[in-house]
Structure 1
Amino acid sequence: MLSIINAQIITPVGILEKGFVTIKEGLITAVTAGDFKGVSSANNAVVDAQGLFLSPGFIDIHVHGGGGADFMDNEVDAYLQIAKTHAQFGTTSLLPTTLTSDTESLLTTFEVYQQAQLLNKQQGASFLGLHLEGPYFAMAQRGAQDPRYIRNPNPQEYEYILAHYKSIIARWSAAPELPGALAFARRLREEGIIAALGHTDAVYEEVLAGLENGFNLATHLYSGMSGMTRKNAYRYAGAIESCLLIDAIDVELIADGIHLPEPFLKLICKVKPADSIILITDAMRAAGTTATKSILGSTKDGVEVVIEGGVAKLPDRSSFAGSVATADRLIRTMMQAAAISLPQAIKMLTSNPARVLGRQHEIGAIAEGMQADLVLFDKDIIIQRTMVAGKWVFER
């Protein structure tokens, strides 16, 4: 048994002052406020938080890499390096995210993921399934996605993938306006896989049709998305306005303060219900490093990028190329730029993504019976310790 005492425990409704949590066999067994009455012994270790904040572990449902590695390297060591890197910044679970690629590379990704998941036994952030970002995207909204591999939904391709690997796919991002995209979304829904709209040129009617067929999550709102457009002098709401308007669509935010500057963050928080906002890093391999040049995607055929001003860009500066953010930065940005409270920001990175993944009864909150995924940090959101399933995987 382990007890963490003298902590400011963050809950979805506020902060529990001078609280303590007890943990046994990887699960939270009690959450209490007041003086700790336990007995320290060989079977009951006690960690004094000394007034630090204790938060549920951060859940990043859209991350490509970190620590110099990318999931598209298709190497087990890369997966483990990314998991360890992001754990240092409070992430306790994540969805390894692909980039648009050829079918052969994608199939290799599935095999490597399965190997890495077996080896990633509480060494870093845990893997909750794959996020396939592409290849079914609108060419005009590709951003840094490789145009060589962008294509329309192909039933022969995705049916093979679903038949063999559906159990390890948590979500799949695609553009709902493409030919065959609605049938594709229905198939994902049948298999319990989240269909997310992303890199899309859709207008309101197409977004609404997408929602009706299963597209209920917006991949990195504003990035790779159409805004208001005009056709024959008439105005049409793009994907951005549609996702802001429709409450049933949850939205991801790359809250690094650069992809979405202060006015955008404040607008989103004003318009969207707080429960519908999910913070993501969209981090690429340079996250957690001091690199000034890097590669988005595989080292074999990825895209060269430059790192400047706290963000990754294509060399011609025509587009961002993923972020170099870590989860702690997202919290700081939302509090400072969006002017929301610490509990609200934490919720957007814990219980909200847990709900979207359908795992709200396992992770995302500090409560009895939940998995002991926990983070201790100070008032500046500097991570001091990270715990995954009851085991410390990072200690400053």
Structure 2
Amino acid sequence: MDNRIIIKNGKVIFPDTIEENLTVVCGNGKITDILHNEEFTPGNSDIVIDATNKYVAPGFIDIHTHGGGGHDFMDGTVEAYLGAAETHARYGTTALLPTTLTSTFDELINTFDVYKEAVKQNTKGAKFLGLHLEGPYFAYNQRGAQDPQYLKNPEPEEYNKILAASDDIVRWSLAPELPGALDFGKVLTSKSILTSVAHSDAIYEEVLKAFNAGFTHVTHLYSAMSTVTRRNAFRYAGVLEAAYLIDDMTVEIIADGVHLPKSLLRFVYKFKGPDKTALCTDSMRGAGMPDGESILGSLEKGQRVIIEDGVAKLPDRTAFAGSVATTDRLVRTMVNIADVPLVEAVRMMTLTPARIMRIDQQKGSVQKGKDADLVIFDNNINVSYTILEGNVIYGN
């Protein structure tokens, strides 16, 4: 049996409140007790962490990330998976969804094998929750930084091969207006794979049909999606408006303070709320790295980008090419820029993504019996410790 980890004197962040002077007891990978300080005396073999003047929160859950620390999951190596996971752990992430980019069929299949091996070897980084496939079924006009040469419509012959090649796919992002997309969404839903609207030119009516076919989530709200448009002089609402109009549709936002300014962060918070809005990094390999040139996608076939102003840009600086955010930055942005209460900003980074991925029975809140995934940080969300299933994977 592992030594217990005892976190004392913490300001524990629960889903709806913060309570001070508590002790969190972790054993065998689970939270075994939450007590007032005076109610608990550590044993001789216990590992004690003093969280005086610091917060104890659930571990951050990132449901959309492409890499970090100089690594991209499309590099197709175990080292890239492990390096990215370890980088994000330093910033409070205890669980993440490795996310692919639009690529060749062979690259995608290779990723599946690499992922399985990385899961076996991942002992120092954030836990892998399964794979998120982003593409290749996207609208050309909303492709963003996705490579256009690989874009296509969903065909059963192809996507059934992909689904048969891996049982690790837990999320798939695609444009629902493409021919065959609604049928594909029903297939994904039948397999309990989160089906997400992304890189789409759909109008509201198409999104509503998609929602009824299982598209319950919207990928990186405001990025690469339609808004109010005209067709033959008539106005139509787009994906953006549909996300607000469909009450039960969940969304994610890249809350780095660059992709969305304060006004839009406030708008999402006000009209979707913390229980329907997850924070995600959507980070590329530049997360946790200094400014300068980088690569979006694989080292071999990726696109050159420039990291500056807290974001990755296309070389001509005409558009953003990706995020370099880490999860601590997302929470910090929501609190300091969007004026969201800390308890709700943390919920958007923990329990809300856990519910979206249907893992909230195990993760997402500090609760007796749940996985001992915890992060300890100060008033400015600077991370001191990251604890995954009762083991310290980052601490200083």
User: TM-score normalised by the shorter chain: which range applies?
Assistant: over 0.9
For structure 1, which segment, 195-204 or 315-324, has the greater mean C-alpha deviation from structure 2 after superposition? 315-324
Kindly indicate whether the alpha-carbon contact (under 8 Å) linking 1:314 and 1:321 is maintained by their aligned counterparts in 2.
yes
Kindly indicate whether the alpha-carbon contact (under 8 Å) linking 1:143 and 1:224 is maintained by their aligned counterparts in 2.
yes
Who is 1:152 aligned against? 153
Paired AA for residue 26 in structure 2: I
Who is 2:359 aligned against? 359
- Post-superposition shift, 1:36? 4.5
Kindly indicate whether the alpha-carbon contact (under 8 Å) linking 2:10 and 2:56 is maintained by their aligned counterparts in 1.
yes
Who is 2:127 aligned against? 126
Who is 2:80 aligned against? 78
Alpha-carbon distance in 1 for matches of 2:110, 2:93:
25
Count of aligned positions: 393
Gaps of 5+ in 1: none
Alpha-carbon distance in 2 for matches of 1:358, 1:230:
37
Q: Which runs of 4+ in 1 moved over 3 A?
A: none
SS in 2 for 1:243: helix
Who is 1:272 aligned against? 272
The Cα offsets for residues 213-240 of structure 1, whole Å up to 9 and x where unpaired, read as 0100000000000111012221110111
Alpha-carbon distance in 2 for matches of 1:337, 1:227:
25
Alpha-carbon distance in 2 for matches of 1:148, 1:45:
53
Alpha-carbon distance in 1 for matches of 2:50, 2:316:
50
Match of 1:97 among 73, 96, 99: 99
Paired AA for residue 315 in structure 1: P
Who is 1:393 aligned against? 393
- Post-superposition shift, 1:2? 2.0
SS in 2 for 1:275: coil
Kindly indicate whether the alpha-carbon contact (under 8 Å) linking 1:5 and 1:36 is maintained by their aligned counterparts in 2.
no
The Cα offsets for residues 259-310 of structure 1, whole Å up to 9 and x where unpaired, read as 0101111111111132000000001001101041100000001011011111
Who is 1:8 aligned against? 11
Who is 2:340 aligned against? 340
Alpha-carbon distance in 1 for matches of 2:51, 2:274:
29
Q: Does 1:39 align with 2:38?
A: no
Paired AA for residue 80 in structure 2: A
Q: Does 1:25 align with 2:63?
A: no
Paired AA for residue 357 in structure 1: M
Q: Does 1:326 align with 2:326?
A: yes
SS in 1 for 2:48: strand
The Cα offsets for residues 91-119 of structure 1, whole Å up to 9 and x where unpaired, read as 00000000000101000010100010011
Paired AA for residue 112 in structure 2: F
Alpha-carbon distance in 1 for matches of 2:336, 2:231:
39
Who is 2:56 aligned against? 54
Alpha-carbon distance in 1 for matches of 2:242, 2:42:
56
- Post-superposition shift, 1:34? 4.0
Alpha-carbon distance in 2 for matches of 1:194, 1:260:
24
Q: Superposition pairs for residues 230-245 of structure 1, below 5 Å?
A: 230-245=230-245
- Post-superposition shift, 1:244? 1.6
Alpha-carbon distance in 2 for matches of 1:80, 1:34:
37
Alpha-carbon distance in 2 for matches of 1:155, 1:259:
34
SS in 1 for 2:159: helix
- Post-superposition shift, 1:40? 3.2
- Post-superposition shift, 1:351? 0.4
Who is 2:375 aligned against? 375
Who is 1:258 aligned against? 258
Kindly indicate whether the alpha-carbon contact (under 8 Å) linking 2:25 and 2:34 is maintained by their aligned counterparts in 1.
yes
Gaps of 5+ in 2: none
Distance 1:337 1:39, change over 3 A: closer
- Post-superposition shift, 1:318? 2.6
Identical aligned pairs, as a percentage? 50
- Post-superposition shift, 1:191? 0.6
- Post-superposition shift, 1:370? 0.5
- Post-superposition shift, 1:171? 0.1
Kindly indicate whether the alpha-carbon contact (under 8 Å) linking 1:226 and 1:238 is maintained by their aligned counterparts in 2.
yes
- Post-superposition shift, 1:160? 1.0
SS in 2 for 1:348: helix
- Post-superposition shift, 1:46? 1.9
Across the aligned residues of Structure 1 and Structure 2, the Cα RMSD in angstroms comes to 0.9
Alpha-carbon distance in 1 for matches of 2:162, 2:119:
19
Q: Superposition pairs for residues 100-119 of structure 1, below 5 Å?
A: 100-119=102-121
Who is 1:135 aligned against? 136
Kindly indicate whether the alpha-carbon contact (under 8 Å) linking 2:112 and 2:165 is maintained by their aligned counterparts in 1.
no
- Post-superposition shift, 1:336? 1.9
Who is 1:287 aligned against? 287
- Post-superposition shift, 1:162? 1.4
TM-score normalised by L of structure 2: 0.98
Who is 2:207 aligned against? 207
Kindly indicate whether the alpha-carbon contact (under 8 Å) linking 2:109 and 2:165 is maintained by their aligned counterparts in 1.
no
The Cα offsets for residues 372-392 of structure 1, whole Å up to 9 and x where unpaired, read as 010000001000010111000
TM-score normalised by L of structure 1: 0.98
Paired AA for residue 39 in structure 1: P
Kindly indicate whether the alpha-carbon contact (under 8 Å) linking 1:73 and 1:298 is maintained by their aligned counterparts in 2.
yes
